[in-house]
Each structure stands twice: as C-alpha cells, then as structure tokens.
Structure 1
C-alpha cells in the first residue's frame, strides 16, 4: 500500500474509533473492532487472538493491545511516562517486530487499546513508536508525536519527563478510569439512570489531585453531566449510606422543569450501585466528601 494512502486510512480509522468510543462512553466492544469495514472490505482493528494488529498491506503496525491486570494499574506511572511494549515472541526481527520497528522510521500513528475487562477496550490514539530497546526486548511508545523529535527518549530531561507523566495521566489513566467506572455502573447515571454513554462522566469522589484520589472504581461514580457538575459544585451530595441529597437552597428555589425534575426530585433517592460489591463507592471517601457538602448547607 502506498504510504500516503496508508496514512490517510489510519487518519480515517482513528477518527472512527474516537467517534464510536465517545458515543459508547469512552470504550468499544470487541465486536465493533472486529467488524470494522472500509472501502467495501473487512478490516478488523484488533487481532482475533493476539495483542497486535498488522493488516496485510500495511507497512507499519496499526494497533496494539495492553491488558489491565489489576485495579491499581492506573495508579502506577512508568518512571519515564512512556509505555514499554515487549517484543512479540519469536524472532526479534520477525514480521510483527519489524512492522513496529518500521513505525519508528515512518512516524505512522498507532492505536493503543487498553483492555479493561474481557471484550471492552479503551482507545488511546494516536500513539507513536519512538525507540527500540533491544536490551529490554521492548519498544518505547509515546503518547504524543513531539517525543519523536526529542532526541534520546531513553534519558529524558526533568521537564520532558514531567510532560510525559502529565500526558500519561490525561490521555491514558483518566480515559481508562472512565471506562472502568461506566462499565461497573452498566453505563448509566448512578443518580438518575440516564443510559446515554456520551452524556456520562466518571466523577472522582476524592479529587485526583488529593492523596486518596487515585483512579480506581471505588473512587468513582458514573454521573450524567448535570449531576457531575452539581456534585462538583456541592449542589448535590451523596451520604455514606448511598443516599442522594440536594442543597437546601436549591430545594427551595423555583425555576423551570430541569431544576424540578433534574435536581430537586433526586433528593432522597438511593444511589444506583454497581453489581459487584468491590466496585461500590468507598464509604470513607464519601464521608470526607459528605462533610464538605454538609458545610455548605
């Protein structure tokens, strides 16, 4: 395939992946990725059984898959803010590794799919293969194209490392957090049960800037955008016994139907909880947040 044609096709694929993921709530199902078609032909975006996708005719790797192995994965940053992607098994110069290595030369963007749980993937794109580290039998994957022009990415300066870690938080950790929280709540608002993924957020109970604000499901709530904003502004509080409360002044206010039905009628509701107890909101974190809400009442 001509390089320019491949580059344009990748741009089209990445745009489609972002569009579908946002409509779902930040993630895609395995069948969506396997069923992708373009130009009248099938072009699966993940492999049926391997963690790398190298379509026939592509000069460079299209997509790689990273599995999340535990609930604290996203609380642990790599030291340099880059992903270390292991060589594919077998010949280090074999086809899969050769196409990954070729991505360094061509600068072609890849898609990183984070497999949060069976059949569900968070897309991170574009990402770039920026170096080959034979002694580690690994490739370095950057979350921003600028790392292609930073010289020796194995020894980043302090400012570059801080930038890489900030990108990892913004582009890798937070989207993965959203996916895990929305899946735990079956893609519905915990307050009002709205089920449109594009209108849902993963709200932090303890802010991510706080000591206990790590991006794990018990520190998250699936909330629609209006209830997320109300929660952040202490107009809506959730007590440690999982009951929704609306600010007293707001309860007494007279306005249109959005205030009445969207907020005032939520007062006293029981929070809709995830099926798995391990995913329930942490009561200690809610207690701390509840005290902040109560002080404003």
Structure 2
C-alpha cells in the first residue's frame, strides 16, 4: 500500500473504533455529533451537512460514508434506498449524472474495495426536527447498476 492508502485505512479503522465506543452509550447520532470525530489531532465530519455521500479529502479519493435520511412517511425521502429482490441493499446515486463527484467517490470506494459506514435515519431528537442516525459498518459497495442509478451494498 502507498502512504495514502495506509492513511486511508488507518482513518477508516479509527472511525469504526470511535463509532463502536460511542455506540456503547448512544443509540443514535446527530449530524453535529458526527462532526466531532478526531484523527491525528484534527476534527473531521463523518457526514455532510446537506448530502448523503461524504468523503474526507485529506485521506481518500473515496467516500467514507453514505446516509439515508429519515422520514416518518417513507414516500417523502429524497432517494429510494432499499433492499433489492436478491436481499442486497441498494444505495441511490446522487442525482442522475454518473460523473457527479459524489457518485465518483462511491465508485472509487467500490473499485478500491474500501469499507464505508452507512448511516440510516431512524427518528428525531425528542421535541426537535434534528435527525438521528444509526451507523452500520463496515459495508462495501460490490456492484453498480447504472441503469437504475444505484450501487449494491454488502453488509458484514
């Protein structure tokens, strides 16, 4: 592995370890809490403020996380992430352009066989509209279905 690949894997493994520890006491995480991860003395976001696909450019050309928003009425979610007929999870592209940067980050994670975190919205902080997310990790993107504008996700 190159130095960058080693840094990337060290970053990912540190993210997974941090989440495991936090999950001992926290059932879910807000976007704010997911911006409090520290690595090599610097704070990093694990999710974007407005996007479901995120990468930390200092460490990788590939996405570190994907996110599915919560909606009490599933028909109002911005993307139809779902389970396919084969039982495998599907994660939708951002928009319809296969070359949109977010989609390229996902494709890069798939090509490099890098593990990601999938944050799934499951509710709100009581009395607010602040979403709570539950992490699942590691997950891998194992195929792309361009005709359906989505990736196939394998869960460990």
**Shorter-chain TM-score: what band?**
0.7 to 0.9
Out of 96, 100, 121, which is 2:133 matched to?
Answer: 121
Post-superposition offset of 1:70: 3.9
* CA contact 1:51–1:65 (8 Å) conserved in 2: yes
Aligned with residue 132 of structure 1, among 117, 120, 144: 144
Mapping 1:11-22, distance limit 5 Å? 11-22=13-24
Deviation of 1:86 (Å): 1.1
Greater relative contact order, per chain length (Cα 8 Å cut-off, separation 6+): 2
The equivalent residue for 1:40 is 41
1:144-293 aligned at under 5 Å gives the runs: 144=156
Larger helix fraction of residues:
1
Q: Distance in 2 between matches of 1:29 and 1:21?
A: 13
User: Which structure: larger Rg?
Assistant: 1
Query: SS of the residue aligned with 2:108?
Result: helix
Deviation of 1:9 (Å): 1.0
Q: Which structure 1 residue ranges, 4+ long, deviate > 6 Å from structure 2?
A: none
Task: Tell me the C-alpha RMSD between the 2 structures.
Answer: 2.2
8 Å CA contact 2:83–2:90 kept in 1: the answer is: no
Q: Are the equivalent residues in 2 in contact too, given 1:21–1:28 (CA < 8 A)?
A: no
How much does 1:90 deviate?
A: 5.2
SS state of the match for residue 117, structure 2? strand
Aligned pairs for 1:22-171 (under 5 A) are: 22-24=24-26, 26-57=27-58, 58-70=60-72, 78-89=84-95, 91-117=97-123, 118-144=130-156
What TM-score results when the alignment is normalised by the length of structure 1?
Answer: 0.44
TM-score (norm 2): 0.81
In structure 2, stretches of 5+ residues that fail to align are 75-81, 124-129
**Structure 1: any 5+ residue segments left out of the alignment?**
145-297
Aligned residues, how many?
Answer: 141
